[in-house]
A and B are shown apart, each in its own frame.
Chain A
């Protein structure tokens, strides 16, 4: 059956399938698919079974847990899990036990349950460092996604995008459920009447298209719509035109903020959100008349209501989200506003923002300005998820608190605290996770890392790093942070031993993960060693990086440059700035001497360093290179200050100091000398990776040793 269906038709079909059947239905966007599932949920309930909607926040550390919890709550509401729900609620019960319980209950009641879910393939954290780092938690998401897709013995309905390659029994939605759409345009009915009269395509447009046309006419004019009769009267281009019109009229700028904020809410909107947004909107100074019109536009044209559910126009939502993905600041504003509204919803009337639920009060505009859009979105998702798991909130009116059913939920909070440089608080939450789930290497590792960054208890730091390694010895970060800790606190010999153990344990040679391992281990360790001028150890570490990585990765090339430059400098041979690649030292002058000077040709240039300066002379260390033997000779040459100044016009004597780097150029047979100096600026190489953790003096500073 591949023709379009509506929810009622599809519910009949699903009820007729054998237990264990997975039915798929495609829909063009996520909002539409989720609305369809909600409609289907209503229809299946009426048919006498318990349809459980599984819509966890996607690509989050707690996606798997949220999905499991939603099934548990669904079973609980349907009376199918009875007192055992307490097991799901208990954070100290392991994932395996909770998962086993849910599977057992669904097995036992499979004829009474239907699982409705959207694109479980999109639940997992995408491949990348963070996903690898959180592999243990991602495993939970995989567990439940695979079970739902392949094993759950009940009826299952999966919505997929049109482009999904996973084909099962294919259906697709019959379009926007017409009965949900407004036909009364309220105060804008006269606009609809004008368009109906003057716009030839009006009668052929869907109600969804007509809503966009009315909104567009309100913001521009009916004449504007009529004058562009050649434009396509379809959802997507109409939504695009509407957004452009709003963006082009500064009076409507706050309305755009409202639309963006509404668009990031995945499920039903709630009245307080809309109210708060408009309250904010007027406080931004918008024209009251425009604000009123915008409010009414939402109420009568751009929002869809069904029972207690409220949704933004799905195409408009899709188009706004598409634009928002590329607009960092706009995204941050939208998420911040949504966060405030949800906070108010969870703890109505609360004005106290103490530590009770402060851990979730992480959305800080200034902070998130420096973060990618995706991080602000995932942060909001975490909060959103907490807000929507109503049962996850204690109802203590005095000290409301976000409750957690799974240690994974705490990880999000800990991660966000860590991102905000609240290391002690983050370490405390990671410790809580580790105490609930001792097998969680991610929690042990980040407990140690956050404590390490805060220069906390060294014994705890060391112990937790080692525990994380014990649990996951094939993860390079588990090793590199532990090694760097040992280096940082001055335990070099142990760091060397740990390094050797890491090489033994990591699947290095012949592995597809070579790049990842080198970046997670070699890069991190070598960077600190170079800062600490441990050149032999650093050399050994970098020598272990395969050529294919070393040559392709500019961060490794920067480390090698610094290593070579420091090695040369240690032998008191430093005459080139560190930014210059040693392979390029002798290829050309680096201070761009002209090929002729006063008509004389350039015959030779030499790099040099000022060794000492006094009132009469400048003593230089000068290098000469033999291109044939590839050998370099260094000499000590004294120049009178007078001659130095004559050769470097414009160079103030006060700028001459030991350590300054320069080049000598000689012109003509007489060897007319010209001198140019490298700028005296702090060393920086944009390709040099940052240190991890960033402050190697932290313990010394904490103990009052370092200034």
Chain B
């Protein structure tokens, strides 16, 4: 479970990924907060659970990386929670199509209107809070840390036809003393080469929120090469394509060429252990689990499928702590999360393992 109190000299990263959506809360010593994106857990914005738990009101920086539905639910509530010094966003446009959509999930996109209105009003009220998250040479102070936007370039965003919002997704590089954190958002991999060559050595990080749910289209050697002890967290996507893929040709397998351990905030399908403590599994264990799920769904005519996740409010979160040299510690992982290795490892809970580090 989450710690009752936070060490004022350490930086904490809370990554939520309940299967659909992701949100990251960063506590920068001694008491400043940055939140990137939002998703709902138990009906509320996931990051709000953290902000309220630690009774924090030093809301420093809030960033919406892009306008996809798995990144903004509850974002308006986050804006309202605190008097944010900075609110970052690079695209305030709205979709045309959802107003009369018969597909009710499309109608839920009305929330984007709420989010955009909230950002617009806050920017209007306090121009200092306005942060167009384009790639520039500027470093934005966030408490005692500095944030730099790695992508997109403004000219690229202006010229882009808007067919895929991931292209405009905003990657953030946060530096606090000797600690470097890379939040990859959903930036597709063709851009990482440019980022690496022109902006920053993205392999130089202690923490990575793996871009785009660990899809093949997002991972890139530029940020993967480096120390094996880095903390990488993957937020799964349990709809449509179901990301990440765990087979031998998949991105997860490739990631193990660079790190020993991956942390997943959940799995992209239902599994009967998701309500329990965090799992320790190898990639092949997970692959086996996914290919032959115990929870089958049967219909007449010999139609079979898999049961969809039962609980959607599973507390799928990973909490990592860093000292001022970037030394990481996994503090805790919520039920439904998976600590994954390529090869078998000794049994034990993740907390036990993290304590051993």
What residues of chain A have their CB less than 8 Å away from a CB belonging to chain B? 487-494, 530-536, 565-566, 568-572, 574, 577-578, 603-604, 606, 611-612, 620-622, 624, 633-639, 658-661, 664, 666, 670-673, 678, 680-684, 696-697, 699-700, 703, 705-707
Give the residue name and chain of the B residue nearest to A664 (CB). B299
Q: Of A488, A566, A622, A666, which is within 8 A of B104 by CB?
A: A566
Tell me the smallest distance from the CB of B324 to a CB of chain A, in Å.
Answer: 35
Partner of A574, one of B76, B105, B240: B105
Q: From A574, A612, A621, A664, give the contact of B308 (CB < 8 A).
A: A621
Chain A min CB distance to B73 (Å)? 8
In the complex the two chains form, is B116's CB within 8 Å of A706's CB? yes
What is the CB-to-nearest-CB distance from A636 to chain B, in angstroms, rounded to a whole number? Answer: 5
A289 to chain B, nearest CB (A): 56
Within 8 A of A (CB), among B92-136: 92-94, 96, 100-111, 113-122
Contact with A along B300-315 (1 / 0, CB 8 A): 1111111110001000
**Residue-wise interface mask of B (26-48) relative to A, using a CB-CB cutoff of 8 A (1 in contact, 0 not):** 00000000000000100110000
Give Cα distance in the complex from A658 to B239, angstroms: 11
- Are B80 and A636 closer than 8 Å at their CB atoms? no
Check if B108 sits within 8 Å of A700, measured CB to CB: no
A569 and B111 in contact (CB under 8 A), knowing A490-B121, A666-B300, A705-B93? no
Taken together as a complex, chains A and B put the C-alpha atoms of A659 and B97 apart, in Å, by 14
Cα(A672)–Cα(B121), bound, Å: 57
In the bound complex, how far is the Cα of B298 from the Cα of A606, in angstroms? 12
Cα distance A535–B119 in the bound complex, in angstroms? 20
Query: Is A700 in contact with B116, judged by CB distance below 8 angstroms?
Result: yes
The residue from B80, B108, B307 contacting A569, defined by CB atoms under 8 A apart: B108
Q: Which residues on A sit within 8 Å (CB–CB) of B20? A: 572
Pair A637/B94 contact, Cβ less than 8 Å: no
Q: Which chain B residues lie closer than 8 Å to A574 at the CB level?
A: 103-105
Task: Given A572-B239, A703-B120, answer yes or no on A533-B104 (Cβ-Cβ < 8 Å).
Answer: no
Which residue of chain B lies nearest to A495 when distances are taken between CB atoms in the complex? B80
Which of A491, A603, A658, A673 is in CB contact (< 8 Å) with B118? A491
Q: Which residue of B lies closest to A621 (CB)?
A: B308
What's the least CB distance linking B72 to chain A, in Å?
A: 10
In the bound assembly, the distance between CA atoms of A659 and B241 in angstroms comes to 14
B94 touches A634 (CB 8 A): no
Interface flag for B77 (CB, 8 Å): yes
Give, as a whole number of angstroms, the nearest-CB distance from B314 to chain A.
12
Tell me whether A566 and B312 are in contact (CB under 8 A): no
Query: Quick one: closest A residue to B239, CB to CB?
Result: A572
In whole angstroms, how far apart are the Cα atoms of A638 and B302 in the complex? 12
Set A571, A577, A703: member contacting B312, Cβ < 8 A: A571
Task: Select one of A492, A604, A624, A707 contacting B76, CB under 8 A.
Answer: A492
13 contacts between A and B (CB under 8 A): A489-B121, A534-B76, A536-B43, A566-B108, A571-B312, A578-B102, A611-B240, A612-B240, A635-B306, A636-B269, A661-B103, A678-B102, A700-B113
Task: Rank and list the top 9 A-B pairs by shortest CB-CB distance, nearest first.
Answer: A635-B297, A671-B300, A671-B301, A490-B118, A490-B117, A637-B305, A682-B100, A659-B103, A569-B104
Residues of B within 8 A of A569 (CB): 104-105, 107-108
- Within 8 Å by CB of B120, from A490, A633, A664, lies A490
Q: Evaluate contact between B114 and A697: CB separation under 8 angstroms.
A: no
Task: Report yes or no: B308 in contact with A636, Cβ–Cβ below 8 A.
Answer: yes
Asked whether, in the complex, the Cβ of A622 is within 8 Å of the Cβ of B113, the reply is no
Flag whether B79 is at the interface (Cβ < 8 A).
yes
What residues of A have a CB within 8 angstroms of the CB of B100 in the complex? 682-684
Whole-angstrom distance from the CB of B126 to the nearest CB of chain A? 13
Shortest beta-carbon distance from A619 to chain B in Å: 9
Contact of A671 among B101, B302, B312 (CB under 8 A): B302
A533 touches B110 (CB 8 A): yes
Q: In the complex the two chains form, is B107's CB within 8 Å of A636's CB? A: no
Minimal beta-carbon separation of B312 from chain A (angstroms): 5
Residues of A within 8 A of B81 (CB): 493
Residues of B within 8 A of A530 (CB): 110
Instruction: For residue B191, give the distance in angstroms from its CB to the closest CB of chain A.
Output: 26
Kindly report which residue of chain B lies nearest to residue A534, judged by CB atoms. B114
Asked if A532 meets B301 with Cβ closer than 8 Å, knowing A490-B76, A490-B117, the reply is no
* A-B Cβ contacts below 8 A, count: 171
Question: Within the assembled complex, what's the spacing in Å between the Cα atoms of A6 and B77?
Answer: 75
Separation of A658 and B102 alpha carbons in the complex (Å) = 12
Q: If A705-B120, A706-B116 touch, does A659 touch B94 (CB 8 Å cutoff)?
A: no
Tell whether A706 pairs with B305 under 8 Å between CB atoms, given A492-B77, A683-B104: no
Distance of B38 from chain A, by nearest CB (Å): 13
- What residue in chain B is nearest A665 (Cβ atoms)? B300
A661 to B76, CA, bound (A): 30
- A637 CB contacts on chain B under 8 angstroms: 297, 299, 303-305
A460 shortest CB reach to chain B, Å: 15
* Cα distance A487–B77 in the bound complex, in angstroms: 11
| Contact A638 to B105, CB < 8 A, known contacts A490-B118, A703-B120 | no
- Are B117 and A699 neighbours in the complex by a CB distance under 8 Å? yes
Question: What is the minimal beta-carbon distance from A534 to any residue of chain B, in angstroms?
Answer: 6
Collect the chain B residues with CB atoms within 8 Å of residue A671's CB: 299-303
Closest CB in chain B relative to A600 CB, distance in Å: 11
Chain A residues, CB < 8 A from B304: 637
User: With a CB–CB cut-off of 8 A, which chain B residues contact A570?
Assistant: 40, 73, 105, 108
Cβ–Cβ < 8 Å partners of A658 in chain B = 240
Chain A residues with CB below 8 A from B107, complex form: 533, 566, 569, 578, 683
Not counting A570-B40, A635-B297, A636-B306, a sample of 18 additional A-B residue pairs whose C-beta atoms are within 8 angstroms of each other reads A490-B114, A491-B118, A492-B118, A530-B110, A536-B43, A566-B108, A569-B104, A574-B105, A612-B241, A624-B299, A635-B299, A637-B303, A658-B240, A673-B300, A683-B100, A699-B117, A700-B113, A705-B116
Q: Could you tell me if B120 and A700 are in contact, using CB atoms closer than 8 angstroms?
A: yes
Closest to A680 in B: B102
Q: Report whether A572 and B101 are in contact in the complex, using a CB–CB cutoff of 8 Å.
A: no
A670 to B303, CA, bound (A): 11
Point out which of A566, A568, A572 has the most chain B C-beta atoms below 10 A from its C-beta: A572
With known contacts A489-B117, A533-B109, A700-B94, A681–B102 Cβ distance under 8 A:
yes
CA distance A565 to B240 in the complex (A): 20
Which B residue sits closest to A530, measured CB to CB?
A: B110
The distance in angstroms between the C-alpha atoms of A682 and B103, with both chains bound, is: 8
Contact assessment for A700 and B117 in the assembled complex, using a CB-CB cutoff below 8 Å: yes
Q: Which residues of B contact A571 (CB under 8 A)?
A: 312
Closest chain A residue, CB of each to CB of B302: A671
Q: Contact between A493 and B80 (Cβ–Cβ < 8 Å)?
A: yes
For B241, the chain A residues whose CB sits under 8 A away are: 612
Residues of B within 8 A of A624 (CB): 297, 299
A659-B106 contact in complex given A492-B77, A536-B43, A634-B308, C-beta closer than 8 Å:
yes
Residues on A with beta carbons closer than 8 Å to the beta carbon of B305: 620, 622, 635-638
Q: Are A659's CB and B122's CB within 8 A?
A: no
Q: How far is the CB of A23 from chain B (nearest CB, A)?
A: 63
Cα–Cα distance between A671 and B31 once the two chains are bound (Å): 62
A490 to B122, CA, bound (A): 8
**Closest partner residue, chain B, to A658 (CB atom):** B240
Q: How far is the CA of A536 from the CA of B74 in the complex (A)?
A: 11
**A490 — which chain B residues lie within 8 A by C-beta?**
76, 79, 114-122
- The CA of A497 and the CA of B265, in the complex, are separated in Å by 35
A671–B81 Cα distance when bound, in Å, is 53
In contact, A532 and B299 (Cβ under 8 angstroms): no
Distance A612 CA – B239 CA, assembled complex (angstroms): 9
Q: Is the CB of A697 within 8 A of B102?
A: no
Q: What chain B residues lie within 8 Å of A488 (beta carbons)?
A: 117
Taking CB atoms, residues of chain A closer than 8 Å to B118 are: 490-492
